[in-house]
Amino acid sequence: MRDIQMVDLKSQYQKLRPQIDSAVISVMESSAFIKGPDVGFLEEELKEYMGVSHVVSCANGTDALQLALMALALKPGDEVITTNFTFIATVEVVALLGLKLVIVDPEPGSFNISVEAIKNAITPRTRAIVPVHLFGQCADMESIMELAWKHNLFVVEDAAQATGADYIFRNGSKKKAGTIGHIGTTSFFPSKNLGCYGDGGALYTNDEAIARKLRSISNHGMKVRYHHDDIGINSRLDTIQAAILRVKLKYLDEFNEARRSAADRYDKAFATCPSLTVPERSPFSSHIFHQYTLKTDAGKRDELKKYLESKKIPSMIYYPGPLHLQEAYKSLGYSEDAFPVTSLLCKEVLSLPMHPDMEDEQLEYIISNVLSFFSK
Ligand SMILES: *Cc1c(COP(=O)(O)O)cnc(C)c1O
């Protein structure tokens, strides 16, 4: 049995090696390192895959979120509602742009932002909602879009963990995560479901004016070289990364399916363990298991983690602390007990190894050790 890792990027590289190597070498031979042809090809291929009108690549998923909020011309003091249970990048960009960060609790079952909590947080100064499709499963987009229309708000989907997940509307039609709101953002960080070999990101939109703005501000506010129409930033996807992503995009559905079948195995094994809650599967979303996240009694979680470590099984806590208690965000002024769901989740969640190359033997080993911890 190979050593167990949270994410096994080496095994994946070994499988794709000839294609990846030749893609990288051909970029080096062309020397078109910035805005080379692979960048445009990748954007076209992603457009097709995502079923969206415009794809704008950029340097990482955090920049993608920042570019989205810049393109919507939000002004300092405008309120942006997002979830307290997410990676820091989601809230960071709101704060960086001088917007007023309004955080709310997620649903305890799906881990995704609570629509009820959004409703309660909307004020006359609210301008945007940023739902995060956490751990590979979509937030309740149809309800969020209805709220947004009613209150005239923008919706920016943080789809960094959900590349390839389908949102299923009440009428049965489907759209890819990230293509439902005004703008969707994603990350190609190596461990994401579609990851490159460094940093990378992209934005999706069906609005042509927004797409033009994003293209401009991600490249110094230029539409024509050395003519600056907007105050922009330097946030471009490297050609080498685009070339790697073009190879990996072809396998994305297969990889996501492999994650799902590993998750099915976990689910089946843990469903009857009274101390564990397996991840909820929302009726309105496919799940691509960026993370496989269990809940266990708050008192037991850290012990379980230590026990697994002693068996050479890594596990991770996403996320260990609510954002409103982080030093950098104390000035928001939220009281410590303002977010009971987030606070509890931070004590209960544990993510197990999850990637497309999990071996049967590894899964069996992880499962039997988790179960033996609880039957001790
Ligand atoms: C990874 C991630 C990001 C940021 O992506 P980077 O490419 O690392 O900047 C943003 N939001 C969420 C939810 C993420 O998981």
Phi first, then psi, for residue 69 (nearest 5°) are: -70, -30
- Domain 252-375: CATH superfamily, name plus number: Aspartate Aminotransferase, domain 1 (3.90.1150.10)
Give the atom of ligand 1 at the shortest distance from the alpha carbon of 290.
15
Q: What is the pLDDT of residue 177?
A: 98
- Rounded to the nearest angstrom, the distance between the alpha carbon of 187 and the centre of ligand 1 is 6
Question: Which residues of the chain are modeled with pLDDT < 70?
Answer: none
- Rounded to the nearest angstrom, the distance between the alpha carbon of 63 and the centre of ligand 1 is 9
Look up the CATH number of domain 9-249.
3.40.640.10
Interatomic CA distance for residues 71 and 327, integer angstroms = 29
- Rounded to the nearest angstrom, the distance between the alpha carbon of 368 and the centre of ligand 1 is 32
- Rounded to 5°, the CA angle 256-250-358 comes to 35
List all residues whose CB is within 6 A of at least one atom of ligand 1.
Answer: 60-62, 86-87, 89-90, 132, 158, 160-161, 187, 189, 199, 201
Exposure of 20 by Cβ count < 10 A (0-12 exposed, 13-18 middle, 19+ buried)? middle
Interatomic CA distance for residues 340 and 119, integer angstroms = 17
pLDDT in tens, 259-283: 999 999 999 999 999 999 999 999 9
Interatomic CA distance for residues 311 and 304, integer angstroms = 11
| Mean pLDDT value across the chain | 97
Ligand 1 pocket: which of 60, 82, 87, 132 to mutate (most atoms <8 Å of CB)? 87
Q: What is the pLDDT of residue 162?
A: 98
Ligand 1 pocket: which of 6, 57, 58, 90 to mutate (most atoms <8 Å of CB)? 90
Q: What is the pLDDT of residue 170?
A: 97
Interatomic CA distance for residues 277 and 300, integer angstroms = 13
Polymer length in residues for the chain: 376
SS3 category, 306: helix
The answer to whether 197 touches 247, Cβ cutoff 8 Å, is no
Q: What is the pLDDT of residue 212?
A: 96
**pTM of this structure:** 0.97
pLDDT in tens, 31-90: 999 999 999 999 999 999 999 999 999 999 999 999 999 999 999 999 999 999 999 999
Q: Residue 111: which H helix or E strand, with range?
A: none
- Rounded to the nearest angstrom, the distance between the alpha carbon of 157 and the centre of ligand 1 is 12
Q: Which residue from 234, 223, 149 is spatially nearest to 199, judged by alpha carbons? A: 234
Q: What is the pLDDT of residue 30?
A: 98
pLDDT in tens, 155-179: 999 999 999 999 999 999 999 999 9
Angle of the 9-30 helix axis to the 239-249 helix axis, nearest 10: 130
Pairing of strands 222-224, 201-205: unpaired
Q: What is the pLDDT of residue 226?
A: 85
Q: What is the pLDDT of residue 213?
A: 97
- Rounded to the nearest angstrom, the distance between the alpha carbon of 87 and the centre of ligand 1 is 7
What is the domain partition of the chain in residue ranges?
A: 9-249, 252-375
Task: Say how far residue 319 (Cα) sits from the centre of its chain.
Answer: 13
